[in-house]
Amino acid sequence: MPRQIIWQYGTTATSGSGDNQLDHPRFASPLPNGNILISDHDNHRVIEVNRDRQIIWQYGTSETPESGDNQLNKPHCSCQRPNGNILITDHLNHRVIEVDRDRQIVWQFGVTGSHLCDDSHLHRPASCFSLPSGNVLISDGFNHRIIEVDRDRQIVWQYGTCETPGSRDNLLNNPIAALSLPSGNFLISDHTNHRVIEVDRDRQIIWQYGIPGGQGSGDNQLERPIHAVQLTNGNILISDYYTPRVIEVNRDRQVLWQYGIPASFTFGENMLSLPTSAHPLPNGNILISDLLNHRVIEVDRR
């Protein structure tokens, strides 16, 4: 039996900004209240939708890429902080912002509209993650680094060498996503190196799936992975952008579950077209942002 789509937001293969429409959703994550937070990339907005497909909160003015009040320019990632505020990677404005529910910017890292590689700038940031300490973990994609930033906007930890793409020690190539693990280590989607790596605070790689320069869909292969999370069983759920599929792999690098068919970029049964994020839901199902199909879907685990 094919895996079933249980819920969907967005009209398959149809972009737009109207009711139940998205335009290249880059990221979707579940909220504690059961709603879904979506980074609607080409509509330049972040929306919270409920299970009845109603938009109950929005930051960003649809179809208006700017940097003023309540405006974004191709947001990549969004997540809710413990205080209820929303962190957003505002990709082409080269900043990460925290906004409250009244749509006020209460914190920012990066200089709006300016990109450099130093202690205050970003260059096309791709993801942000709220750490238990209150610090923010940022994938600074075009600067080829992951940085941890405190509330005073100081970089307190970094993996990757500024403006130096590579796959050797302490090098990355356009990292798209990073998050922290319960162990304190970091899980990084090293996009153009075709790998997902786990690194510790000493910047040592302690686990890896995928081979730099060896992209594909075979054993221990990925092609431009864009997002990865650790499941409660310790396995890793990877959104493998170009194959296009979402896979669950164990620590022995075995694929245990898959949604999507390699080399099939479409919207038929068990098919995706550039998956950009995948998250486990409390019911065990998987929430996937399906970029070129302009939808976010919940699929079962069968």
pLDDT of residue 18: 94
Q: Can you tell me the distance from the alpha carbon of 8 to that of 125, in angstroms, rounded to the nearest whole number?
A: 27
Residue located via tokens 């693990």: 181
DSSP labels for 209-256? ES-TT--SSSTT--SSEEEEEE-TTS-EEEEETTTTEEEEE-TT--EE
pLDDT of residue 252: 98
pLDDT of residue 124: 98
pLDDT of residue 291: 97
Yes or no: say if 286 and 6 are a contact pair by the CB < 8 Å rule.
Answer: no
pLDDT of residue 285: 97
For CA atoms 148, 151, 153, 156, give the dihedral sign. negative
What dihedral do alpha carbons 236, 237, 238, 243 form, nearest 10°? Answer: 120
Identify the segments of the chain with pLDDT beneath 50: none
pLDDT of residue 143: 98
Q: Can you tell me the distance from the alpha carbon of 72 to that of 94, in angstroms, rounded to the nearest whole number?
A: 10
pLDDT of residue 63: 79
pLDDT of residue 227: 98
pLDDT of residue 267: 75
Tokens coding 108: 């920012």
Tokens coding 174: 């356009």
The whole-angstrom distance between residue 122's C-alpha and the CA centroid of its chain comes to 17
pLDDT of residue 2: 63
pLDDT of residue 198: 98
Domains of the chain are 5-250+264-293 (2.120.10.30)
Tokens coding 143: 């600067």
What dihedral do alpha carbons 164, 183, 129, 247 form, nearest 10°? Answer: 80
**Edge to edge, what strands does the sheet with 155-159 contain?**
125-130, 136-140, 145-149, 155-159
pTM of the model: 0.97
